[in-house]
A and B are shown apart, each in its own frame.
Chain A
Amino acid sequence: MKITDSAFKKPKDLPGLHILSAGTSICAGCGGLQAIHEILDILGPKTVTVNAAGCMSLLSVYPFTPFSGSWLYTAMASAPAGAQGVRDALDRLLATKKIAADEDMQVVVLSGDGSATGIGLSATSGAIDRRLDFIYICYDNEGYGNTGQQSSGGTPHGARTTTSRGEQGYCGHKKDLFSIWKANHPAYLATVSGAEPLDLARKIEKARAIKGPSLIIAFSPCPTGWHFPPQESIEIGRLAVRTGVWPLKEYEDGKVVHTKIPAGRLPVTEYLQKQGRFAHLFHPGNAYLIKEMQADVDAYWDCVEKSAATGR
């Protein structure tokens, strides 16, 4: 699909009415909720959401729900298995004509990075193997946010979390969920940011139209866990894109395309200095960590430019 085919050409094409209702127990300024509400605006009301345990478990606290469609809560490891059951049930209802074709629902998995990059990975792998027709939405707040921001497979190198309090922060590296999925040949795969709503809308539009397993990884700035004032959420999302820390890209028909290549990338320090979880990187003696981060980002984009030049 080209941009000219998209229903979202300019900002005013974005929906002004929101599918997800207000009144949820999610933190003020939550970047994850911000991205999820944009995503659901495009997916529409006919969704069944299968929610792995995480921050977003609090979206639908019995008996209240912000959804128009159904919501199923699963353990952290098994959301894609739950999605398989829901999809099979819908298919059965369609086959036996108990529901009409226009009553079909989109099956969506909602999970955090802890489940998506770690605990839930094996159920995810199985669902892709079975070519399950579903959209997996990972709100990536780079840690186990619901329990107080312990480090997860999604935590970036050097970030301070409640389980990486040392002077150098988290010693592991952020797992590349995009590449893990890509290696499994999904139908569609994309990274999005709530701070870039048009890019997000076009990608969700595509994911909705394509059959088979799709993944959307949504950058989710977390005021509570990353230690910044709630009002900065969008600005931090924008800086993540402009510094090149969060590449916006998609995978389709065996090819990866970068949908927004930041021109004149800002230094990563612009992004890091806004967040308390990186404050220790600016202490004397930790300058090498910032240098490493900048080198990683530069190497990534060099590689992107090279592959663009050679057409591979």
Chain B
Amino acid sequence: MYRIRFHGRGGQGMKMASHILGTAFFLAGFEVQDAPRFGAERRGAPIFAYVRAQKAPIKERGIISHPGLVLVADESLVPLPAAGILHGVEETTVLFLNSREGGAVWKARLNFPGTVLALDLIGNDLNQPGGQRFFGAICAGAAAALTGVIPEDVLMQAIEDELIHVEAIVVQENKTRARAAFLAMQDKAGIVEEGSGVKVDGYRRPAWIDVPLDDAGLAAPAIHGRRTSELMKTGAWRLRKPVIDTCRCKGCWWVCSTFCPDSAIVVESGRPRIDYDHCKGCMICMVQCSSHAISLVNEKEEVSGE
């Protein structure tokens, strides 16, 4: 059975990616399951979706814990424990990243047991309004190629079937990216193999349970406490962040602080300060600042510049 997991952020088309791949498998004669898991169900928050496919009826249910292929639309998700990208990976697992860095870099960095493939099809999509929604098509295209059992024309048909309610131009954009990923990964066709069935009688209770460590305040907050949502670091949703140039800031704090939906710009001694633990990167402050003192910095660029 093929067990495939897509990881991305809300708004990057992960649900659509699993639908497209699921439909493509179906058109290629497979029995299919595909389902998304939303978590916070909000744009920018980590989500995943998964696909199971085999020629016989599928009796397995629930989240895939031993994936044959993991696809990551957004490399900034890798270090987030909540995203769970490395959950259950094995020597036979193939990891695919839509990343500006190569597969060898990621394999070493993550000490990944299986094969790691990376492809940079990010292009300008990261900064175009709504551009990130095409990341799903890239992952679906790559997945189809890596299984080696879905021909290109079937993949294209699946995209048309799944995007039937969408404008023709958007369908075309999705196809272009899926095709590019498909062709780039074609020489690796068949690298993802069908995993064996999971037998109930072979199940062994794990010797230990992995519990991620949270702050005591987060793990057991006072339920009568005020403003406890501050413990949730929604800054992890962000791909881009606003940065205030203190030399250009004229101290008219009310604009950025009032217009920030998330109360993430605090005013201290008449000066605004961005609370990066919580800023979701909506960039309203940058657009509204009349003295153009706020600029956009991609999170990734800052990390590599350090």
Q: Which residues of A contact B (CB under 8 A)?
A: 11-12, 14, 16-18, 20-31, 33-34, 37-38, 45, 58-60, 62-68, 165, 194-195, 197, 223-224, 227-235, 276, 279
Contacts and interface: CB of A to CB of B under 8 A. Distances in A.
B291 interface: no
A26 to B, nearest CB: 7
Contacts of B255: 11
Contacts of B281: 28
Contacts of A197: 254, 258-259
B28 interface: no
A24 to B, nearest CB: 5
Nearest to A195: B259
A62 B45 contact: no
A229 B257 CA distance: 20
B165 interface: yes
B261 A34 contact: yes
Contact of A22 (B42, B129, B234): B234
Contacts of A24: 229, 232, 234, 262
B261 A30 contact: yes
Contact of A31 (B225, B227, B261): B261
B43 A223 contact: yes
Describe A's contact surface by its main secondary structure. Answer: loop
Q: Which of A21, A45, A58, A223 has the most CB of B within 10 A?
A: A21
A234 B223 contact: no
Interface string B250-287: 00111101111111101100000001011011111011
A283 to B, nearest CB: 10
A62 B232 CA distance: 12
A231 B226 contact: no
Interface residues of B, number: 50
A24 B229 CA distance: 6
B213 interface: no
Contacts of A235: 287-288
B229 A12 contact: no
Interface string B235-262: 0011000000000000011110111111
B228 A11 contact: no
B22 to A, nearest CB: 19
Q: Which of B40, B229, B266, B278 has the most CB of A within 10 A?
A: B229
A53 B1 CA distance: 40
B282 to A, nearest CB: 3
B45 A25 contact: yes
B233 interface: yes
B233 A23 contact: yes
Nearest to A197: B258
B230 A22 contact: yes
A233 B227 contact: no
Contacts of B190: none
A230 B288 contact: no
A195 B233 CA distance: 26
Interface of B: 11, 40-45, 129-130, 165, 167, 221, 223, 225-234, 237-238, 252-255, 257-264, 266-267, 275, 277-278, 280-284, 286-288
Contacts of A232: 287
Contact of B40 (A25, A63, A231): A25
A230 B41 CA distance: 16
Given A232-B287, A234-B287, A29 B221 contact: no
A192 B288 CA distance: 19
A22 B287 contact: no
Contacts of B288: 234-235
Contacts of B257: 16, 18
B11 to A, nearest CB: 8
B261 A33 contact: yes
Contacts of B252: 11-12
B43 A224 contact: yes
Contacts of A229: 129-130
A38 B165 contact: no
Contacts of B45: 25
A34 B280 contact: no
A242 B278 CA distance: 32
A37 B229 CA distance: 14
A276 B170 CA distance: 12
B43 A65 contact: no
A37 B287 contact: no
Given A18-B263, A27-B42, A28-B237, A63 B221 contact: yes
B254 A230 contact: no
Contacts of A68: 226-227
Nearest to A34: B261
A220 to B, nearest CB: 10
Contacts of A234: 259, 284, 287-288
Nearest to A276: B130
A260 B40 CA distance: 38
Nearest to B287: A231
Contacts of B232: 23-25, 64
22 contacts: A21-B230, A22-B234, A22-B264, A23-B230, A25-B40, A25-B42, A25-B234, A26-B42, A27-B44, A33-B262, A34-B261, A37-B261, A58-B40, A64-B228, A64-B229, A65-B229, A197-B254, A229-B129, A230-B284, A231-B283, A235-B287, A276-B130
